[in-house]
């Protein structure tokens, strides 16, 4: 992992792991990544604050969408994590594919992919537990960055060593295989196919072999077993990136094709939901199709930036997307609330209740964005 500063023009710069690619090719991907990160750098609190301030049904519904269901079901907030992994996959043909085209051996590229994946796993452990020494039983090893690192790594290994047809087969096999695994197994003492938190086989295996503590005591949403279908999320991104990189199809047709594919995936997910519920905690196969479909729709929309050339509106998000790992990790080591209060507490007090909290939530996001804009202007980006 390095912090890089370069004097090259930004359009030539290679940025933001694990999503390195030539940014001039897909400006939209930086913008979409920034849109994704925007919601977990504090923007969701604006909706929670508005709901508390107004008690209006409209804001209550929106606020609820920025929470996670307790188990089965889907809220918008469930999309943030898999969308990032999908985007990492889309970038693969532009980064890993570029290295292979330049003549690097598959083993050389493999080492870079494995190194990136393991660094992300390490960063995830640090994010969860800090830098202080803890007893093994108190360390949580499962993490968002760890899930991204492992799924990214294995999806890229499949990409390096297989053709596109084989990648499609892998995608289908991972989803169907995971479905069959959970359908015909269970934790000891539970009926076959039990998908409750206590009774499902994936959580049981994590409880049995995963060291340290689990996020929900008996279950970890970033456990080892549910990494299997998450590889499928990364592969879907890779297949999409390969399609976008194809010069034989014009941009408008690509955007339309992605939108149609997205709708089909969501339809399949809703059908599969009757037998294998959409569930982020288990990263079920229906969940992969659902978030994959929504990710395709969003990418189709953002891809119009590259097709039509209207970039100015997306600059706000691009600033975030170019330092996504940095802003995520900063939450563990920078007291952003303290910084926000230092600059804007007077404003919140001036406005007073109930909307002072809404203003402070907006200021919280703007302080983070100002930091990222400073890094952007200095051409300093966190790279893995």
pLDDT at 208 over 60: yes
Beta strand pairing status for 2-5 and 380-383? antiparallel
User: Residue 383 forms beta bridges with which residues?
Assistant: 2
Percent of the chain at pLDDT above 90?
67
pLDDT value at residue 287 = 98
- State residue 135 phi and psi, 5-degree precision: -60, 150
pLDDT at 22 over 70: no
Q: What's the rounded mean pLDDT across residues 338-352? A: 89
pLDDT value at residue 27 = 87
Please state, in angstroms and rounded to a whole number, the distance separating the CA atoms of residues 172 and 285.
Answer: 10
The helix (H) or strand (E) run that includes residue 5 is strand 2-5
pLDDT per residue over 221-249, tens digit each? 999 999 999 999 999 999 999 999 888 77
Please state, in angstroms and rounded to a whole number, the distance separating the CA atoms of residues 329 and 151.
Answer: 19
Q: Is 355 exposed, middle or buried (0-12, 13-18, 19+ CB in 10 A)?
A: middle
Please state, in angstroms and rounded to a whole number, the distance separating the CA atoms of residues 163 and 149.
Answer: 22
Q: Which residue has the higher pLDDT, 278 or 382?
A: 278
Helices (runs of H) and strands (runs of E) counted in the chain: 15, 2
Please state, in angstroms and rounded to a whole number, the distance separating the CA atoms of residues 52 and 227.
Answer: 36
Q: What's the rounded mean pLDDT across residues 277-300? A: 97
- State the virtual CA torsion across 245, 248, 252, 255 in degrees, nearest 10: -40
pLDDT per residue over 298-330, tens digit each? 999 999 888 888 888 889 999 999 898 898 988
> For residue 366, what pLDDT band results from cuts at 50, 70 and 90?
very high
Please state, in angstroms and rounded to a whole number, the distance separating the CA atoms of residues 51 and 284.
Answer: 31
Q: What's the rounded mean pLDDT across residues 41-48? A: 91
Please state, in angstroms and rounded to a whole number, the distance separating the CA atoms of residues 118 and 123.
Answer: 9
Q: What's the rounded mean pLDDT across residues 204-215? A: 91
pLDDT at 134 over 90: no
């Amino acid at each position: 992992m390095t912090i890089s500063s370069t004097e090259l023009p930004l359009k030539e710069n290679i940025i933001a792991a694990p999503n390195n690619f030539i940014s001039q090719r897909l400006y939209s991907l930086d913008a979409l990544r920034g849109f994704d990160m925007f919601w977990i750098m504090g923007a969701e609190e604006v909706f929670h604050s508005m709901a508390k301030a107004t008690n209006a049904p409209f804001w209550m519904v929106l606020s609820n969408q920025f929470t996670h269901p307790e188990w089965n079901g889907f809220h918008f907030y469930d999309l943030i994590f898999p969308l990032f992994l999908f985007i990492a996959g889309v970038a693969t043909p532009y980064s890993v594919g570029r290295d292979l085209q330049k003549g690097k051996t598959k083993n050389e590229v493999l080492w870079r992919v494995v190194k990136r994946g393991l660094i992300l796993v390490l960063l995830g452990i640090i994010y969860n537990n800090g830098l202080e020494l803890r007893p093994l039983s108190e360390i949580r090893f499962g993490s968002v960055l760890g899930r991204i690192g492992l799924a990214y790594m294995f999806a890229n290994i499949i990409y390096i060593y297989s053709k596109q047809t084989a990648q499609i087969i892998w995608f289908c096999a991972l989803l169907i295989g995971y479905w069959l695994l959970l359908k015909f197994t269970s934790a000891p003492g539970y009926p076959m196919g039990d998908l409750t938190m206590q009774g499902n086989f994936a959580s049981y295996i994590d409880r049995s072999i995963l060291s340290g503590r689990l996020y929900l005591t008996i279950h970890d949403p970033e456990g080892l077993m549910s990494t299997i279908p998450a590889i499928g999320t990364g592969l879907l991104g890779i297949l999409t990136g390969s399609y976008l990189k194809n010069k034989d199809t014009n941009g408008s047709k690509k955007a339309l094709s992605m939108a149609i594919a997205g709708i089909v995936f969501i339809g399949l997910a809703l059908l599969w939901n009757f037998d294998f519920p959409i569930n982020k905690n288990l990263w079920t196969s229906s969940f992969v199709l659902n978030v994959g479909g929504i990710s395709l729709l969003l990418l189709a929309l953002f891809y119009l930036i590259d097709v039509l050339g209207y970039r100015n509106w997306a600059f706000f998000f691009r600033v975030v997307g170019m330092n996504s790992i940095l802003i995520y990790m900063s939450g563990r080591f920078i007291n952003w609330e303290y910084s926000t209060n230092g600059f804007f507490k007077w404003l919140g007090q001036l406005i007073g209740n109930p909307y002072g909290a809404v203003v402070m939530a907006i200021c919280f996001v703007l302080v983070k964005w100002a930091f990222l804009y400073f890094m952007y202007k200095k051409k300093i980006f966190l790279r893995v």
